[in-house]
């Protein structure tokens, strides 16, 4: 699979395999705009199966036409890349937090990491990159709801990180994540990128292997390893 295809898949949240008329258009209209309501009867019954989301939301979603391009992969969505990218984002975030807060216990680090990697925040990062303008998806009525759309954007950002990792490795993925996290905030970006060494590393910048010969128990352990 070429790298072009990999990045194409990263932007493919829900992809249609048949390229005919979209069957969801009528359902979108009914779901978001409803039908003309009669003036008689119990209004609770008439409105039971309709959601008044508004014509603006409908037009916004219906105008998001994806590119109908086939790919070489038989998998027409980004779920595998999303799985990989989720691990990449958590791994990189863990490294930076571990070094930036050497005295913070595990629970605090986990809380900070959760705040960064949660879908709501990843959707903000996707919006910073303008990924919603390049995503490929079918016009499902569920995407008319802002929550579902932002969840799709978060998944797309994770998939993009997975694609960058496959293309250029963990260092490039780190650069993209860091620059997106603190876009327009140079001071915070500099702190995040140039994190200090761990206290043990600062204490022993050349490593602590030199102490092996000084302690018999370490010498035996080293020989066994």
3-state SS track over 183-225? CCCHHHHHHHHCCCCCHHHHHCCCCCHHHHHHCHHHHHHHHHC
The mean pLDDT of 161-165, rounded to a whole number, is 95
93-145 per-position pLDDT tens digit: 999 999 999 899 999 999 999 999 999 999 999 999 998 888 776 555 555 56
Domain ranges of the chain: 3-199
pLDDT at 193 over 90: yes
- Of all residues in the chain, the percent with pLDDT exceeding 70 is 59
Give the pair of three-digit tokens for residue 224: 């066994």
State residue 77 phi and psi, 5-degree precision: -155, 175
Identify the DSSP state of 149: H
Quote the mean pLDDT of the chain.
75
187 or 207, higher pLDDT: 187
DSSP type of residue 138: -
pTM of the entire structure?
A: 0.64
Mean pLDDT of 53-65: 59
| 192, 100 Cβ separation under 8 angstroms | yes
Q: Is the pLDDT of residue 171 over 80?
A: yes
Does the domain at 3-199 match CATH 1.10.1520.10? Answer given as yes
E strands present in the chain: 12-14, 136-137
């Amino acid at each position: 699979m070429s790298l072009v295809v990999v990045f194409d898949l990263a932007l493919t949240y829900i992809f249609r395999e048949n390229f005919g008329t979209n069957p969801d258009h009528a359902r979108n209209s009914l779901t978001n705009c409803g039908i003309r309501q009669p003036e008689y009867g119990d209004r609770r019954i008439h409105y039971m199966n309709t959601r008044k989301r508004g014509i603006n939301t409908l037009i916004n979603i219906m105008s998001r036409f994806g590119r109908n391009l086939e790919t070489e992969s038989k998998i027409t969505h980004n779920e595998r890349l999303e799985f990989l990218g989720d691990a990449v984002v958590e791994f990189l975030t863990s490294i930076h937090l571990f070094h930036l807060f050497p005295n913070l216990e595990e629970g605090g680090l986990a809380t900070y990491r959760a705040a960064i990697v949660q879908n709501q925040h990843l959707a903000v990062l996707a919006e910073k990159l303008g990924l919603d303008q390049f995503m490929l998806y079918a016009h499902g009525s569920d995407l008319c709801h802002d929550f579902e759309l932002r969840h799709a954007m978060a998944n797309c950002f994770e998939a993009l990180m997975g694609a960058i990792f496959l293309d250029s490795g963990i260092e490039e993925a780190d650069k993209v994540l860091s620059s997106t996290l603190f876009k327009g905030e140079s001071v915070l970006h500099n702190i995040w990128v140039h994190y200090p060494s761990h206290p043990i590393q600062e204490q022993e910048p050349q490593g602590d292997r030199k102490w092996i010969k000084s302690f018999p128990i370490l010498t035996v352990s080293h020989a066994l390893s």
